[in-house]
Structure 1
Amino acid sequence: MNRTTDTSVTVIGLGLMGRALAGAFLKAGHPTTVWNRTSAKAGQLVAEGARLAPTVGDALKASSLTIICVTDYQAVRELLGASDSELGGRTLINLTSGDSAQAREAAQWAEQRGARYLDGAIMAIPSAIGTAEAVILHSGPQPDFEAHRSTIDALGTVTYLGADHGLASLYDVAGLAMMWSVLNAWLQGTAMLRTAGVDAATFAPFARQIAAGVAEWLPGYAEQIDRGSFPAEVSALETDARAMNHLVEESEAVGVNAELPKLIKAMADRAIAAGHGGEQYPVLIEEFSRPHND
């Protein structure tokens, strides 16, 4: 891809991820200024051509674009709060992990101080930064994103989600929900099969095939959710609930923890009791969309 490499950038926060971000900018040819509470962490980056700023204020002055990757949102405010006068006209891209409410509050805080603000989430490990495998999510005003896209492209596959500053954080945790759910389902099945002498490596290819097949259902199921109509084109929820009960019983019979399938079965039972037994599985969105204590 074409990049403008004479654009300078500042990176605040040099943990493992922050160092990877700064390294990617340097590799792409961007003049890069860095700052960290512990300046020793900048040693390798300085050797590679980065400039170490003596203060946060100096780091902010060095570039019109600043990437922030620190411990939490409180640390962001603590670091930048002493440099209010330096924020005017700057663009801040905050890649610090947090929740959507914190992202929206941080955006308001930064904009009140004259900064342009984008919130982001990194869906990658540090070693992947700078490659296409690193997905970097961004949310906030689109013009601010587009103005710096040629620079932040150095980090990996950058994605714009929308004007709501909280979207990147929400996508982040939604992705984690997918990841842990797939892994937990695989662990449940693995635990069951091990009782029959089948090892995890033997089950894994079959499990991967099942996971890929289920993923193919998502676009059609998404259409049902968005329409609010759940005709049983494949199977009815009450049929699925009987299979869930079989999973619970088999787990208990072979001495495997049945908490996870019992939880999903309880949600299905509530939906059936509410009259949705003849509809298709995505009707459970109603159960997932309400607090547990309702």
Structure 2
Amino acid sequence: MNTDHKHSITVIGLGNLGQVLAGTFLDQGHRTTVWNRSPGKADALVDRGAVRAATAAEAIAASDLVILCVLDYETVREVLTPAAGPLAGRALVNLTSGTPQPARELAAWTAEHGAAYLDGAVYAVPQTIGTSEAFVLYSGSLNVFGTYKDQLGLLGKSTFVGPDAGLASVYDIALLSGMYGMFGGFFQSVALGDSAQIKAAEITDLLVPWLKAAADALPGFAREIDSGDYATETSNLAINTVGLANILSATKAQGIDVALLAPLHSLFQHQIEQGHGAASLARAIESLRRKAVVG
């Protein structure tokens, strides 16, 4: 790669996150080229010293490190396909939210055009980019990650999770699944409280410390899952199945839908039917694991 552009960075896509990404590089003294399909979104950055590219191809040609942050992978292809010529020899870091297979396909397409690809999953709201609260998981080209680790580190703590370009997205989906599961439990909790005229704030004041304490059990569950040893002398699946059944019954009696929690009860029941009632609650994952394909 051309060392003349070692500290030149291009940011394509100037939504809320892209604006902050470009601004962070500018604040750290990097020559930053920007491009957006709506040119006006670059105005404030240009006023701060960014270089406005007239086209996506011009933006890519301006730097060896190209950061892409647009709405979705369809937009990625719409932007990159007519601008593929200058990609050769460059590093493309895609921070667009997506799923694993499109990331792998984009990595292959990028390689066909002579560029190296790194996929990233950003864990931050725009205002925390560049602070200790932000972190980004990367997968794909280890060479790109190593070469530009300092620049990428300006955005937040950077972690390389593997050479499979889809891995960052797998991590992303896994972490977000845990988050949305928590939100589901919260909505169920608040709805139940509301059925008895208990304010959401009252429930939440009690729920937050309870959930924080409950989260302390997760590393132990993770060790059990990784080891496959689910022996326990404490709260087992049989006990939790009875407890959850009582919760579902009481919730129905309050006129509240149990669709969010009923599937969890089904997982517990499945494990008990398999003879694992005395096992740790963590064994419920065995009813979710992808089964090996024989043949």
2:19 is matched with which residue? 19
Ranges in structure 1 where 5+ consecutive residues have no aligned partner:
none
Alpha-carbon distance in 2 for matches of 1:272, 1:44: 60
Equivalent residue for 1:95?
A: 95
Indicate the SS of the match to 1:224. helix
What SS does the corresponding residue of 2:279 show, helix, strand or coil?
coil
CA contact (8 A) 1:6 1:30 kept: no
For 2:223, the equivalent position in structure 1 comes to 223
Instruction: Tell me, in whole angstroms, the C-alpha distance in 1 between the residues paired with 2:188 and 2:37.
Output: 44
Q: Deviations over 1:56-97 (max 9, x none)?
A: 121111111000011222322232222333111100000111
Match of 2:194 in 1: 194
Q: Distance in 1 between matches of 2:48 and 2:6?
A: 16
Give the match's secondary structure for 2:162: coil
Q: Which residue matches 1:175? A: 175
Residue 136 of structure 1 pairs with residue 136 of structure 2: yes
Q: Tell me the equivalent position of 1:164.
A: 164
TM-aligned CA deviation for residue 225 of structure 1: 0.8
Aligned to 1:125: 125
Amino acid at match of 1:213: A
The residue type equivalent to 2:259 in the other structure is E
1:190 to partner: Cα distance: 2.0
Distance in 1 (CA, whole Å) between partners of 2:109 and 2:199 is 53
Letter in 2 for 1:245: A
**Which stretch shifts more, 98-107 or 131-140?**
131-140
- Kept after mapping to 2: 8 A contact 1:68/1:93: yes
Percent identity between the two aligned chains: 40
Structure 2 portions without partners, runs of 5+: none
- 1:48-127 equivalences in 2 (<5 Å): 48-127=48-127
Q: Is the 8 A contact 1:11 1:67 kept in 2?
A: yes
Q: Which amino acid aligns with 2:12?
A: I
Match of 1:155, SS state, is coil
How big is each residue's C-alpha offset from its partner over 1:203-234, in whole Å with a ceiling of 9 and x where there is no partner? 22321122112211112111111112211232
How many residues align? The count is 287
1:224-256 deviation line (CA, Å, top 9, x unaligned): 111122112322211110001010011012222
Distance 1:199 1:80 in 2: 50
User: Which digits, 9 at most, give the CA deviation of each residue in 1:17-44, with x for residues without a partner?
Assistant: 2112111111121110001111111010
Matches within 5 A, 1:19-58: 19-58=19-58
TM-score of the superposition, structure 1-length normalised? Answer: 0.92
Amino acid in structure 2 at the alignment position of 1:192: L
Please identify, of 57-66 and 150-159, the stretch whose mean Cα deviation from structure 2 is larger.
150-159
Equivalent residue for 1:205?
Answer: 205
Give the equivalent residue in structure 1 for 2:145. 145
Counterpart code for 2:110: A
Task: Report the Cα distance in structure 1 between the residues aligned to 2:205 and 2:243, rounded to whole angstroms.
Answer: 22
Cα deviation for residue 290 of structure 1 reads 4.4
Q: Distance in 1 between matches of 2:273 and 2:261?
A: 18
- Structure 2: how far apart are the matches of 1:163 and 1:281? 33
Matched, 1:278 2:285: no
Output the CA distance in 1 between the equivalents of 2:218 and 2:37. Answer: 45
Worse-matched range after superposition: 239-248 or 73-82: 73-82
Distance 1:110 1:130 in 2: 27
Preserved contact between residue 247 and residue 261 of structure 1 (Cα < 8 Å): no
- Larger mean CA deviation between 127-136 and 277-286 belongs to 127-136
Q: CA distance change for structure 1 residues 82 and 6 in 2, over 3 Å: closer, same or farther?
A: closer
CA contact (8 A) 2:230 2:279 kept: yes
Matching residue of 1:243: 243
Equivalent AA in structure 1 for residue 288 of structure 2: F
Instruction: Give the partner amino acid of 2:72.
Output: D
**TM-fit CA distance, 1:142:** 2.2
Q: Is the 8 A contact 2:6 2:64 kept in 1?
A: no
Deviation of 1:141 (Å): 2.5
1:269 is displaced (CA, Å) by 1.1
Match of 1:268?
A: 268
